[in-house]
């Protein structure tokens, strides 16, 4: 019997290492030709499955697939698109099955975060509910590190390494300038709900007086007076202060600072990101000169300073997903299980998609110090292994040499379909 | 005769590699004990010379000095402080001489940019005008790359490598997201007057369709309609668009965008950095979803991705400064002379401080394309050698391991002096 083809798609915000998972899937599938025919990637994620816009990865040489391990972004395109359930959304599922049938697809790999685990879980039911035999396996990915069950999420370790490195470096800079110029450095980082990335900044502070002296978590409501008192105290002690701020910082009423803003002297709302608002507040109230940075996509795309642990885990989760699929395991997701902290040891485990979908793993309160402004030793023990090791990309002409795939389309067999 | 001591100070905005110049000075001086006694560093730059706040670098082991080559920021503290001329400012110069005499200082090394070359030039006159024998040598440093005479400025190559890498990486990210989400990525970079750093972003674009598709230089007045038409054209061609914006972008009236801002729907001024303003403008006028990043200090502190060429040049300029001083050359500055582009060859030359002081090297107009939105091949030929090679710092626990010196003070001999 001719082996079934596989469909692989990237979903949601991309990372510095999601392509390493893609490489794990494709390289492993290529070694399993008895079980898996070709791997078709969805162009722009699940949308490619609906529009029959499939990329034939078998047209890429092994060397190009290997280079995915060192290339950030989503090589086949990603999307923000949440499928409704089969009952509410019959037409789309029927269409997807039509596409899968036309291209002889028997495996479905979905590489994403919370919403994507939910989508994958819905797709995993098409066998039972719609009679189309499909093995559906999720592959975790999210810089937010907020997926349930898995010890940590691919993509997070590299962001963590980037933000901790960046604020350490900026700390050395502002410390040099503090005597006559800038005393405050504020860096805003991602994490709308969970403070994992903010916490990672804290890894840069090995001892008192190191940057960042203050962290502002989305989990801790912003107390202006308490914060300003702390800033003043740090500046009096160290001469300067570096603050890492979550984009999801909330005020006392639980509203996002970035949406509620502050009032200026004329009572006008001053909108802006949380970092910008906090920096201006320090200037207005304490008079210290500030600089501020917004890392934005730079943090999640920074493949040049990816964590080696993160790259390895991302790759091996891709490998494991294919092995699970071949073993006939439907509706599951390979996850990271931590075996020990020191030395750090981990292995791949398996979770049910139903248990991962739509759950959010928040920072435990005991990972944040009692005053709410830093991480605890317990948090450091958790985070530290995830940023270990360097895995630099190849360089060409002084810049990282990232691969652009040919992304050749699979010839269409069906009439068009509007998403 | 006992050899004279040396004074070394860092000045102005610091860089990822100014400490490499410090290492060049200190290591070379240590090999020249017949000529130079100890190297005293000014705490917080020239202010340390006035307040008699000197750091005894001889207390640092050779291993710590060597690690300066891989540590960003200014290890002894820098300052923004411009000395007036000897005539207008007699008391300060007299005080400085008093401090130098008390500590037997016969060499003065000043590591900085335009203003610092001016300060160094003034100090170089104390022998002639005030009768105190002093050899004064400047050492170039500025991320702005705007010093006269030298082919390029230490610190710039590393910023260039960082910003080009960052916008390349962000380009891979936004390209992945463009189908259903973000289509525009804007990154604001440093360079208030000269567009060298903005130009460096352009190195990431090897071919049409690569990030950044558009550069906004401080040299080219911002034409809103022409810019929006170009953004639309790029999005229609590539599906997305990455824009690098200079913080010094100016509107048609020649005013800084960051100061003049734009009006919102209610006629209120919307302040913000140039990058933020440009990003919002695209959203308001074209409706494209955007992300924007403000690299700020991250760009000039990013020692983790420093240019090897830049590190080497910075170090060797420090070495050369000491050799010039020992040769008795007063009022000079070692500079970079380019010998060939391909292969890139360079050597150290010598400039007079008087010729460097207070001059600004702008981007030649023929380094910018006729439409004002990108760099020319001629510009690439100039810039490309400056970002070549990687010189990563050592890592410890997953993060760059930067040195913090002891910075032991030289015992004071004089009464206090208020700066």
Q: Residue B316's Cα: distance from chain center in Å? A: 16
Q: Which residues of A touch B305 (CB under 8 A)?
A: 304-305
**Residue positions counted in chain B:** 419
Active site residue A144: yes
pLDDT of residue A258: 85
Kindly report the nearest CA distance between residue B43 and chain A, in angstroms: 9
Q: Which residues of A touch B292 (CB under 8 A)?
A: 294, 296
pLDDT of residue B258: 85
Per-residue model confidence as pLDDT tens digits over B354-411: 999 988 899 999 999 999 999 999 999 999 999 999 999 999 999 999 999 999 999 9
Identify the active-site residue in A56, A144, A146, A151.
Answer: A144
- Residues B24 and B319 sit within 8 Å (Cβ to Cβ): yes
Residues ≥6 apart with Cβ < 8 Å to B131? none
Q: Quick one: pLDDT band at residue A118, thresholds 50, 70, 90?
A: very high
Kindly report the nearest CA distance between residue A34 and chain B, in angstroms: 32
Q: Residue A208's Cα: distance from chain center in Å? A: 30
Test A301 with B14 for CB contact under 8 angstroms. no
Mean pLDDT over A73-89 rounds to 92
Handedness of CA B304, B305, B307, B310 (dihedral sign): negative
Expressed in angstroms, the distance from the first to the final Cα of chain A is 34
Q: Residue A184's Cα: distance from chain center in Å? A: 28
- Residues A144 and A189 sit within 8 Å (Cβ to Cβ): no
Beta strand extents in B96-156 (DSSP E only): 105-112, 135-140
- Residue in B with minimal Cα distance to A380: B397
- Residues B155 and B12 sit within 8 Å (Cβ to Cβ): no
Mean pLDDT over A360-382 rounds to 97
Q: Which residues of B touch A181 (CB under 8 A)?
A: 79-80
Q: How many CB atoms lie within 10 A of CB A222?
A: 22
Kindly report the nearest CA distance between residue B399 and chain A, in angstroms: 6
Q: Tell me which residue in B296, B398, B400 faces A291 most closely, judged by beta carbons.
A: B296
Q: What ipTM does this complex have?
A: 0.97
Q: Which residues of A touch B45 (CB under 8 A)?
A: 179
Mutate to test the interface with A, among B169, B171, B381 (most CBs of A within 10 A): B169
Residue A230 CA to residue A228 CA, distance in Å, equals 5
Q: Residue A160's Cα: distance from chain center in Å? A: 10
Backbone phi, psi, residue A65, to 5°: -65, -40
pLDDT at A272 over 80: no
Q: How many CB atoms lie within 10 A of CB A236?
A: 9
Max CA-CA distance within chain A?
A: 76
Q: Tell me which residue in B165, B268, B389 faces A268 most closely, judged by beta carbons.
A: B268
Test B389 with A399 for CB contact under 8 angstroms. no
Q: Which residues of A touch B397 (CB under 8 A)?
A: 203, 384, 387-388
- Residue in A with minimal Cα distance to B157: A398
pLDDT of residue B216: 98
Residues ≥6 apart with Cβ < 8 Å to B330? B124, B127, B134, B135, B136, B137
Comparing CA positions, the residue from A320, A327, A337, A346 lying closest to residue A139 is A320
What are the residues facing A136 on neighbouring strands? A108
Angle at A297 between CA A295 and CA A300, to 5 degrees: 95
Backbone phi, psi, residue A56, to 5°: -90, 100
- Residue in A with minimal Cα distance to B390: A398
Kindly report which listed range (A2-11, A28-37, A269-278) carries the lowest average pLDDT score: A269-278
Residue B198 CA to residue B246 CA, distance in Å, equals 6
Test B301 with A384 for CB contact under 8 angstroms. no
Kindly report which listed range (A156-160, A228-232, B89-93) carries the lowest average pLDDT score: B89-93
Strands B269-270 and B262-263, how do they pair?
antiparallel
pLDDT of residue A64: 98
- Residues A399 and B168 sit within 8 Å (Cβ to Cβ): yes
Residue A37 CA to residue A47 CA, distance in Å, equals 22
Q: Tell me which residue in B44, B171, B304 faces A169 most closely, judged by beta carbons.
A: B304
Test B295 with A296 for CB contact under 8 angstroms. no
Mean pLDDT over A338-355 rounds to 97
Kindly report the nearest CA distance between residue A287 and chain B, in angstroms: 18
Q: If you ran DSSP here, which 8-state letter would residue A66 be given?
A: H
Kindly report the nearest CA distance between residue B29 and chain A, in angstroms: 23
The sheet that has B4-10: what strands, in order across it? B54-56, B36-42, B4-10, B105-112, B135-140, B332-340, B345-352
- Residue in A with minimal Cα distance to B309: A398
Residue B150 CA to residue B351 CA, distance in Å, equals 8
Residue A137 CA to residue A114 CA, distance in Å, equals 14
Angle between helices A308-326 and A156-177 (to 10 degrees): 170
List active site positions of B: 144
pLDDT of residue A269: 53
Mutate to test the interface with B, among A297, A299, A400 (most CBs of B within 10 A): A297
Mean pLDDT over A371-399 rounds to 98
pLDDT of residue B269: 53
Q: Quick one: pLDDT band at residue A84, thresholds 50, 70, 90?
A: confident
Per-residue model confidence as pLDDT tens digits over A135-175: 999 999 999 999 999 999 999 999 999 999 999 999 999 99
- Residue in B with minimal Cα distance to A295: B293
Test A399 with B296 for CB contact under 8 angstroms. no
Test B80 with A181 for CB contact under 8 angstroms. yes
Q: What is the average pLDDT score of chain A?
A: 95
Residue A150 CA to residue A152 CA, distance in Å, equals 5
Mean pLDDT over B116-130 rounds to 92
Mutate to test the interface with A, among B174, B176, B182, B306 (most CBs of A within 10 A): B176
State the count of interchain CB pairs (< 8 A) between A and B.
Answer: 202
Q: Give the ranges where B327-395 is alpha helix by DSSP (H).
A: 353-356, 377-383
- Collapsed DSSP state (helix, strand, coil) of residue B190: coil
Helix, strand, coil abundance in chain A, percent, nearest 5: 40, 20, 40
Q: Which comes out higher in pLDDT, residue B1 or B111?
A: B111
Q: Which residues of A touch B293 (CB under 8 A)?
A: 294-298
Q: Which residues of A touch B284 (CB under 8 A)?
A: none
pLDDT at B265 over 50: no
Mean pLDDT over A280-302 rounds to 96
Q: Report the C-alpha dihedral over residues B100, B105, B107, B111, rounded to 10 degrees.
A: -60
Test A172 with B301 for CB contact under 8 angstroms. yes
Residues ≥6 apart with Cβ < 8 Å to A229? none
Comparing CA positions, the residue from A358, A372, A371 lying closest to residue A146 is A358
Test B14 with A268 for CB contact under 8 angstroms. no
What are the residues facing B35 on neighbouring strands? none
pLDDT at B74 over 90: yes
Q: Which residues of A touch B187 (CB under 8 A)?
A: 298
What are the residues facing B307 on neighbouring strands? B390
User: In Å, how far are B13, B81, B330 from B46, measured between CA atoms?
Assistant: 13, 8, 18
Q: What is the average pLDDT score of chain B?
A: 95
Kindly report the nearest CA distance between residue B34 and chain A, in angstroms: 32
Q: Residue A259's Cα: distance from chain center in Å? A: 23
User: In Å, how far are A169, A390, B161, B394 from B71, measured between CA atoms?
Assistant: 9, 18, 17, 10
Residue A212 CA to residue B204 CA, distance in Å, equals 31
Q: Is B419 exposed, middle or buried (0-12, 13-18, 19+ CB in 10 A)?
A: middle
Comparing CA positions, the residue from B190, B246, B149, B138 lying closest to residue B16 is B190
- Residues A268 and A276 sit within 8 Å (Cβ to Cβ): no
Test A392 with B390 for CB contact under 8 angstroms. yes
Q: Which residues of B touch A177 (CB under 8 A)?
A: 13-14, 74, 78-80
- Collapsed DSSP state (helix, strand, coil) of residue B204: helix
């Amino acid at each position: 019997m001719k082996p079934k083809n596989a469909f692989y798609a990237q979903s949601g915000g991309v990372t510095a290492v999601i392509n390493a998972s893609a490489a794990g899937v494709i390289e492993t599938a290529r070694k399993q030709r008895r079980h898996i025919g070709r791997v078709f990637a969805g162009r722009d994620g699940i949308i490619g499955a609906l529009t029959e816009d499939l990329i034939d990865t078998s047209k890429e040489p092994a060397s190009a697939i290997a280079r995915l391990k060192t290339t950030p972004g989503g090589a086949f395109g990603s999307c923000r698109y949440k499928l409704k359930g089969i009952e509410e959304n019959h037409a789309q599922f029927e269409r997807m099955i039509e596409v899968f049938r036309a291209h002889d697809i028997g495996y479905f790999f979905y590489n994403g975060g919370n919403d994507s685990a939910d989508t994958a879980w819905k797709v995993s039911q098409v066998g039972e509910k719609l009679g189309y035999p499909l093995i559906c396996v999720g592959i975790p990915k999210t810089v937010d590190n907020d997926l349930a069950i898995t010890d940590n999420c691919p993509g997070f370790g590299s962001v963590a390494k980037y933000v901790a490195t960046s604020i350490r470096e900026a700390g050395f800079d502002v410390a040099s300038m503090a005597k006559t110029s800038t005393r405050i450095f504020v860096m805003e980082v991602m994490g709308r709900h969970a403070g994992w990335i903010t916490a990672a900044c804290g890894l840069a502070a090995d001892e008192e007086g190191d940057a960042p002296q203050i962290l502002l978590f989305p989990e801790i409501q912003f107390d202006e007076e308490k914060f300003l008192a702390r800033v003043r105290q740090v500046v009096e002690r160290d001469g300067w202060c570096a603050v890492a701020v979550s984009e999801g910082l909330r005020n006392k009423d639980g509203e996002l600072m970035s949406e509620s803003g502050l009032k200026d002297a004329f009572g006008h709302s001053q909108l802006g990101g949380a970092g910008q608002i906090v920096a201006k507040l320090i200037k207005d109230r304490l008079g210290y000169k500030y600089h501020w940075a917004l890392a934005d996509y730079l943090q999640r795309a920074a493949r040049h300073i990816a964590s080696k642990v993160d790259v390895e885990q991302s790759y091996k989760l891709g490998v494991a997903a294919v092995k699970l699929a071949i073993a006939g395991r439907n509706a599951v997701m390979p996850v990271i299980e931590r075996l020990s902290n020191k030395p750090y040891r981990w292995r791949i485990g398996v979770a049910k998609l139903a248990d991962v979908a739509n759950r959010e793993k928040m920072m435990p309160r005991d990972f944040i110090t009692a005053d709410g402004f830093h991480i605890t030793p317990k948090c450091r023990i958790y985070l530290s292994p995830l940023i270990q090791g360097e895995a630099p990309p190849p360089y060409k002409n002084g810049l990282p040499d990232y691969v652009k795939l040919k992304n050749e389309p699979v010839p269409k067999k069906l009439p068009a379909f509007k998403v």
